[in-house]
Structure 1
Amino acid sequence: MTHFTTGDDAKLSDAMFESYRDTIVAQGGNLIAAIAQAIE
Protein backbone atom coordinates (compact mmCIF):
# COMPACT_ATOMS: atom_id res chain seq x y z
CA MET A 1 0.00 0.00 0.00
CA THR A 2 2.80 2.41 0.79
CA HIS A 3 5.54 3.13 -1.71
CA PHE A 4 8.76 4.03 0.05
CA THR A 5 10.03 6.70 -2.29
CA THR A 6 11.01 10.26 -1.47
CA GLY A 7 8.44 11.76 -3.85
CA ASP A 8 5.42 9.80 -2.69
CA ASP A 9 2.67 11.85 -1.08
CA ALA A 10 0.38 8.84 -0.56
CA LYS A 11 2.15 7.35 2.44
CA LEU A 12 -0.24 6.06 5.07
CA SER A 13 -0.32 7.94 8.33
CA ASP A 14 -1.12 6.16 11.58
CA ALA A 15 -4.56 7.78 11.60
CA MET A 16 -5.27 6.64 8.04
CA PHE A 17 -4.12 3.12 8.87
CA GLU A 18 -6.37 2.99 11.94
CA SER A 19 -9.31 4.22 9.87
CA TYR A 20 -8.69 1.64 7.14
CA ARG A 21 -8.26 -1.12 9.71
CA ASP A 22 -11.48 -0.21 11.52
CA THR A 23 -13.35 -0.22 8.20
CA ILE A 24 -11.92 -3.61 7.20
CA VAL A 25 -12.79 -5.12 10.59
CA ALA A 26 -16.35 -3.79 10.32
CA GLN A 27 -16.73 -5.17 6.80
CA GLY A 28 -15.42 -8.54 7.98
CA GLY A 29 -18.02 -8.60 10.73
CA ASN A 30 -20.76 -7.69 8.26
CA LEU A 31 -19.62 -10.47 5.94
CA ILE A 32 -19.66 -13.07 8.71
CA ALA A 33 -23.12 -11.92 9.81
CA ALA A 34 -24.43 -12.13 6.23
CA ILE A 35 -23.02 -15.63 5.77
CA ALA A 36 -24.45 -16.78 9.11
CA GLN A 37 -27.87 -15.41 8.17
CA ALA A 38 -27.72 -17.06 4.74
CA ILE A 39 -27.01 -20.54 6.13
CA GLU A 40 -29.71 -20.51 8.81
Structure 2
Amino acid sequence: MDPAPAEISEERPHDHVVTAPGGTPAKLGPTTARASGR
Protein backbone atom coordinates (compact mmCIF):
# COMPACT_ATOMS: atom_id res chain seq x y z
CA MET A 1 0.00 0.00 0.00
CA ASP A 2 2.83 2.42 0.82
CA PRO A 3 5.64 1.33 -1.55
CA ALA A 4 3.31 0.92 -4.52
CA PRO A 5 1.70 4.40 -4.53
CA ALA A 6 5.02 6.00 -3.57
CA GLU A 7 6.61 4.81 -6.81
CA ILE A 8 3.64 5.86 -8.91
CA SER A 9 3.46 9.24 -7.18
CA GLU A 10 6.97 9.96 -8.48
CA GLU A 11 5.84 9.42 -12.08
CA ARG A 12 2.13 10.21 -11.77
CA PRO A 13 1.09 11.91 -8.53
CA HIS A 14 -2.55 11.93 -9.61
CA ASP A 15 -2.43 8.22 -10.45
CA HIS A 16 -1.48 7.12 -6.95
CA VAL A 17 -4.22 9.34 -5.55
CA VAL A 18 -6.84 7.70 -7.74
CA THR A 19 -5.79 4.10 -7.06
CA ALA A 20 -4.77 4.51 -3.42
CA PRO A 21 -8.05 5.06 -1.51
CA GLY A 22 -10.58 4.42 -4.25
CA GLY A 23 -12.95 7.15 -3.16
CA THR A 24 -10.57 9.97 -4.06
CA PRO A 25 -11.34 9.73 -7.79
CA ALA A 26 -14.79 11.16 -7.11
CA LYS A 27 -13.04 14.28 -5.82
CA LEU A 28 -11.11 14.77 -9.06
CA GLY A 29 -14.13 14.12 -11.27
CA PRO A 30 -16.42 11.48 -12.82
CA THR A 31 -13.87 10.68 -15.53
CA THR A 32 -11.30 9.54 -12.98
CA ALA A 33 -13.86 7.43 -11.13
CA ARG A 34 -14.66 5.61 -14.39
CA ALA A 35 -10.99 4.89 -15.06
CA SER A 36 -10.70 3.50 -11.53
CA GLY A 37 -13.43 1.00 -12.33
CA ARG A 38 -16.09 2.52 -10.11
TM-score norm. by structure 2 comes to 0.28
The higher-RCO structure (CA 8 Å, 6+ apart) is 2
- Name the one with the larger helix percent: 2
TM-score norm. by structure 1 comes to 0.27
- In terms of Rg, which structure is larger? 1
